[in-house]
């Protein structure tokens, strides 16, 4: 692991780091905020997964999480959204696919299968590095994210309920197998057999028996991607049918940007803190 930068913030440290990922076969950048309490003990860790076109830096620069994370004593880890580098296959004119659009899946189709293995990177490889290098209590992990990252957070929680004590999302892609945003990407990453897609689709995972105790989801009513891309009502229906507690808050007048995310970031951090506390 190489340190790119560190800055003092709210008594803690905001760092940016890079590691060579065997899983993604490239260098991967990520951000970690260590609150001041990390100087003396291990702390709970909260994973934030970003959305389409983003890197680790979007939430770091605009998410406004550090003040409260420092108060609550929570470590925040912000990974990148895809493999990076000149040799990584990409569609540079397509913002919904390729670099910045890994969808937190393990691709099975060439030429993407060699590098686009974001599920394994987030679930297996990066946690081992974080546990080795930072004072994290890996028995107290939460996960949240925005849009594509909200999709990633919910699906990862559903598939790993024993690991995560909490999960929330801002405007998640709730049913990517049918969403206009994600169907083309799923086909390119995972092939034409839609049965494979179910492993990375929140509604499908719930239909197939995966469970998580509860979710918090915030969704702006003025989000231009609400109907085709995000489909929160389908997540509500899947959770109701399965008996999963879903607190879906439709936030009047809010859109899809970090103005929305930063407004409700404090609510999400407190939600996680209550579930990850001592």
Return the SS3 of 188.
helix
- Residue 132: count of CB within 10 angstroms of its CB: 9
Number of alpha carbons in the 13 Å side-chain half-sphere of residue 33: 29
Residue 256 annotated in active site: yes
Which among 43, 105, 101, 50 is positioned nearest to 72, based on CA atoms? Answer: 43
Catalytic residue (choose from 50, 147, 166, 182): 147
Query: Alpha-carbon distance 206 to 199, whole Å?
Result: 10
List the Cα angle 117/175/119 in 5-degree steps. 15
Residue 25 annotated in active site: no
Query: Alpha-carbon distance 133 to 195, whole Å?
Result: 38
Residue 257 annotated in active site: no
Burial code of 192-222, b = ≥16 C-beta within 10 A, e = fewer?
eeeebbebbbbbbbbeeebebeebbbbbbee
Query: Alpha-carbon distance 261 to 254, whole Å?
Result: 9
Catalytic residue (choose from 56, 210, 256, 272): 256
Place of tokens 């702006």: 220
Rg (CA), the chain: 17
> What does the block give as tokens for 213?
């105790």
> What does the block give as tokens for 197?
């897609």
β-pairing, 26-34 with 75-79?
A: antiparallel
Catalytic residue (choose from 50, 218, 223, 272): 223
What does the CA dihedral 29, 276, 200, 260 come to, rounded to 10 degrees? -70
Q: Which residues are catalytic?
A: 147, 223, 256
């Amino acid at each position: 692991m190489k340190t790119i930068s560190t800055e003092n913030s709210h008594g803690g440290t905001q760092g940016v780091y890079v590691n060579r990922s065997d899983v993604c076969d490239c260098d991967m950048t990520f951000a970690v905020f260590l609150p001041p309490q990390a100087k003396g003990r291990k702390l709970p860790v909260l994973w934030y997964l970003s959305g389409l076109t983003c890197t680790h830096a979007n939430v770091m620069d605009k998410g406004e999480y550090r003040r409260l994370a420092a108060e609550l004593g929570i470590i925040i880890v912000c990974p990148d959204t895809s493999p990076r580098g000149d040799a990584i296959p990409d569609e540079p004119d397509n913002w919904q696919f390729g670099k910045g659009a890994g969808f937190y899946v393990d691709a099975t189709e060439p030429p993407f299968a060699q590098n686009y293995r974001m599920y394994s990177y987030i679930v297996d490889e990066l946690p081992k590095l974080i546990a080795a290098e930072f004072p994290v209590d890996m028995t107290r992990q939460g996960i949240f994210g925005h849009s594509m990252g909200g999709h990633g957070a919910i699906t990862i929680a559903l598939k790993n309920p024993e690991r995560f004590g909490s999960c929330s999302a801002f405007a998640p892609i709730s049913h990517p197998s049918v969403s206009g945003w994600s169907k083309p990407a799923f086909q390119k990453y995972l092939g034409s057999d839609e049965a494979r897609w179910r492993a990375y689709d929140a509604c499908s995972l719930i239909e197939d028996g995966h469970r998580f105790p509860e979710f918090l989801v915030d969704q702006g009513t003025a989000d231009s991607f609400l109907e085709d891309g995000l489909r929160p009502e389908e997540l509500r229906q899947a959770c109701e049918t399965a008996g999963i507690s879903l607190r879906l808050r439709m936030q009047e007048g809010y859109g899809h940007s970090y103005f929305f995310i930063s407004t409700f970031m404090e609510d999400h951090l407190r939600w996680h803190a209550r579930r990850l506390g001592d």
